[in-house]
Chain A
Amino acid sequence: MTDLISKVPEGPLAEKWTNHKAHIKVVSPANKKKMEIIVIGTGLAGASAAATLGELGYNVKIFCISDSPRRAHSIAAQGGINAAKNYQNDNDSVYRLFYDTIKGGDYRSREANVYRLAEVSNNIIDQCVAQGVPFARDYGGLLDNRSFGGAQVSRTFYARGQTGQQLLLGAYAALNRQVAKGTVKSYPRHEMLDLVLINGEAKGIIARDLTTGEIQRFGAHAVVVASGGYGNTYFLSTNAMNSNGSAAWQCYKKGAFFANPCFAQIHPTCIPVHGDQQSKLTLMSESLRNDGRIWVPKKLEDVEAIRKGTKKPSDIAEEDRDYYLERRYPAFGNLVPRDVASRAAKERCDAGFGVNEQGLAVFLDFKTCMEQKGRKYIEEKYGNLFQMYEEINDVDPYKEPMMIFPAIHYTMGGLWVDYNLQTTIPGLYAIGEANFSDHGGNRLGASALMQGLADGYFILPYTIGDYLASKFKDPKTDTNAPEFEEAENRIKERVNKLLSIKGKRTVDSIHKELGHIMWEYVGMARNEEGLKKAIGLIRDLKKEFWSNVYVAGDNEHFNQELEKALRVADFLEIGELMAIDALNRRESCGGHFREEMQTAEGETKRDDENFMYVAAWEYKGEEEPALHKEPLEFKYCTVATRNYKD
């Protein structure tokens, strides 16, 4: 038995969403006008939700930490967005997209949610085209597709290497239209620092105006968190510098359960770390694996020669190259899912075949493609990525292969939500990367954009109505209520405490130290001893932070050091919960690889008997968090060991 009610509707899988929509309550137009909704974050999920809620007639307030909603990190997604259109006639379908996503997630996501995601994927493409998103087209004027990892069909729609940018500009444009109409009020450079509950329901937030430092109160009938993931816990990741887990974390500390925090995605094709002065890692789109081949030399002496610079990678003869993904996974080859590709790279590097000075890189090579399809083809498809690579590395990837290595990219875990995307706090919703719901243990490429927009355009605007329909008689939330007063005072105390420590460590030095602990013990391979050690180290570091950090400046001005300090304080706690969850989950599954649980060939070994559940953690203050389990049932697809070999 579980105390988590997923609210998955009855009936056959393919009819659940349609039936559910028919039965949930709606709010009349006259009443929508009286209701207020707060949306945190302006990425694909937040912007599309706010725009759609505004169109429906609600009064929306949207908050982002950047100077403009358009800068949210969705903008950086390169490769594409999946949809089950079957435009390529390659036998794609809603069911196949659903099945690939469940399998790709290593059977740790909720069937009904994933099916709905696949179902609305097609509406997303229609919507984006209508908004003027310039997707790639072929000469007949119809939309083009490409392939991504974990799929054997071509279902990924793209706009050069800037798909996230174009989709976000579409959602941002829809948002701008509502701002002009007055249904949405936009608060850029504002950061949510607390969630306010009245009688156990989400009724508002405390936010800091990042320009003036003013701590402000905002009330609403419901709050939607679309603040993205917590990948920056690792300090080095492909996330933007300001991406953080704080908004979701405040919700957790107010009682919303946090699900599967240990499921973090490590992306196989990132530019390797170059030194300790590095601030972030740059992703090279997964789409490159359509035409690029991944390899390391077969002979260690060639590895040595490349490291020393006496041989160039292009000097290595074809027969001396180990295309290890093609060798190990012939059915999918270079297009295996991300977790599989990342672990395979680690395996080769651990065996001594890493091709850069640090021994932590493999090659992504376009030689075959250049020979077969020519330079112009590559320029057209990946031009900006090749240019980006050359800028960073000073190496021309048309001549020599790219060097790549896995890096933290995305977090599948997040706030626990039911089928309506509502958290365990009534009136608090979580959408996009901020929730846990659709990707299980591993997200497939081009599915983050799909989920963000599915939640924001097509799911939340309906499901939130079911909650608000019982609230339309409630008056406007009074921000003079004692609950707001108390929350505001607590935040002010926290800020003042941080500013008054005046210790000896910079905020970044502590964040980097946390990152090292996380990557070492809660990274690509985890084990019981390491995880226990990590928990101890993180707790010590947290003490160090609260007694010895130095936060420059004051609260009355624009102060980026203070912004960072507030976020790092939360990363320290997020990191600890990730380690606790990873320790609990004594199985290997998706991006979570427990060394104790592997097959003789080094593949992941799931434990379906004991771990086929969502681990949802409840905050208990100074005590250990409490674990709640939502069992997962698979009625419509066969649970099997993932096989990308044959």
Chain B
Amino acid sequence: MKFTLKIWRQENAKAKGHFETYKVDGISPDTSFLEMMDILNEQLVNEKINPVAFDKGCKGEHSGPVSFDHDCREGICGACSLYINGRAHGPESGVTTCQLYMRKFKDGSTITIEPWRSSGFPIIKDLVVDRRAYDKILQAGGFISVNTGGVPDANAIPIKKEKADKSMDAAACIGCGACAATCKNGSAMLFVAARVSSLALLPQGKIEGARRAKAMVDTMDALGFGSCTNTRACEMECPKGISVEHIARLNREFLSAKLSE
């Protein structure tokens, strides 16, 4: 298969970005999207090594290999991002970019690749963004305050299977940032809700529920993320299918925090 790639290039957060166009050829349909990016980068490095071969459709001097975040390549670490043809994690639902395969694209088509665009995630280079804001939100309260040791036996408090399962549904969040990148308001509400809800559903997490919700929402606001207007775009694009019902649970926790103030 062959593709024309329009890729966002940007030297650093302050530099002005632009699109560059590249061509890749001989891609197997079983190649993953990020392997296709590896092949492109190998090609771009080889063109630097041997500029004579430099005629694969790039105009003028190109900016070297494309930087993009990636790690586990099995959809669980949350490192990969990428806006592909205008959608977070590409055209498929329920998968991350690293789980996307080239057989899902039309041979010969043009693919546009951009970084997450959100005021909460400044660009570091090309397609790599800074998502430390998500760490900061969790540092505000995304935990249960227990120290190591001195805890009761794991089976001391039975938990209804349904509750544990629901908690697990929310805990499946990989912190990739697709929700905030997709949201027209740049809200990180689904991310915050997933953590708050996952803990609030368990007796161990219930105790600090209200305080946690308030602290995390306040931090999200302070970090420049927008507010939620229930467009549900986040749910549509979440690679782990986290439901907006968790936002409702977050709102309940948040409200009870406000009421008890």
Contact = CB atoms under 8 A, between A and B. Distances in A.
Interface of A: 48, 51-52, 55, 66-71, 73, 75-76, 85, 87, 123, 125-132, 134-143, 159-160, 162, 164-166, 169, 172-174, 176-177, 179-180, 186, 188, 211, 240-242, 274-275, 277-280, 282-283, 387-388, 391-392, 394, 457-458, 461, 503-504, 506-509, 550, 552-553, 557-558, 560-561
Given A67-B69, A461-B148, A550-B45, 9 more contacts: A71-B71, A75-B76, A130-B204, A132-B202, A137-B159, A277-B28, A388-B74, A506-B49, A558-B124
B172 interface: yes
6 A-B pairs closest in CB distance: A141-B158, A173-B143, A130-B151, A134-B168, A134-B167, A558-B125
A137 B164 contact: yes
B154 A241 contact: no
A99 to B, nearest CB: 23
A552 B64 contact: yes
Contacts of A141: 158-161, 164
Interface in B87-127: 94-95, 99, 101, 103, 124-125
Contact of A394 (B39, B103, B135): B103
B187 interface: no
Contacts of B152: 126, 130
B39 A277 contact: yes
- How large, as a class, is the contact surface on chain B? 35 or more
A180 B99 contact: no
Contacts of B204: 129-132
B73 A280 contact: yes
Contact of B148 (A76, A142, A143, A174): A174
Contacts of A186: 135
Contact of B154 (A52, A69, A85): A85
A76 to B, nearest CB: 5
Given A176-B142, A188-B132, A279-B34, A240 B64 contact: no
A508 B42 contact: yes
6 contacts: A131-B204, A169-B171, A211-B130, A274-B30, A279-B35, A557-B11
A127 B152 CA distance: 8
A71 B79 contact: yes
B76 A162 contact: yes
B29 to A, nearest CB: 9
B28 A68 contact: no
A54 to B, nearest CB: 10
Contacts of B229: none
Nearest to A274: B30
Q: Which of B148, B152, B161, B198 has the most chain A CB within a 10 Å cutoff?
A: B148
Given A126-B154, A139-B161, A388-B74, A160 B11 contact: no
A561 B65 contact: yes
B200 to A, nearest CB: 10
B101 to A, nearest CB: 7
Contact of A241 (B73, B146, B202): B73
B132 A68 contact: yes
Given A87-B155, A126-B151, A240-B77, A166 B171 contact: yes
Given A125-B154, A162-B172, A394-B103, A278 B48 contact: no
Contact of B138 (A131, A176, A558): A176
A277 B31 contact: yes
Q: Which of B30, B38, B171 has the most chain A CB within a 10 Å cutoff?
A: B171
B70 interface: yes
B72 interface: yes
B67 interface: yes
Given A129-B154, A132-B199, A143-B154, A560 B67 contact: yes
B153 interface: yes
A511 to B, nearest CB: 11
Contacts of A159: 168, 171
B111 to A, nearest CB: 17
B71 A241 contact: yes
A55 B148 CA distance: 8
B248 interface: no
Interface string B37-66: 011001011101110000000000000110
B161 A137 contact: yes
B260 interface: no
Q: Which of B71, B75, B78, B99 has the most chain A CB within a 10 Å cutoff?
A: B71
Interface string B170-203: 0110110000000000000000000000110010
Contact of B158 (A48, A142, A173, A280): A142
A368 to B, nearest CB: 26
Contacts of A392: 32, 99, 101
Contacts of A71: 71-72, 77-79
Contacts of A176: 135, 138-139, 142-143
Nearest to B99: A391
A547 to B, nearest CB: 14
Q: Which of A160, A391, A507 has the most chain B CB within a 10 Å cutoff?
A: A391
Nearest to B205: A132
Contacts of B48: 550, 552
Contacts of B73: 240-241, 279-280, 282
Given A506-B46, A560-B67, A123 B149 contact: yes
B67 A240 contact: no
Contacts of A211: 124, 130
B198 A278 contact: no
B12 interface: yes
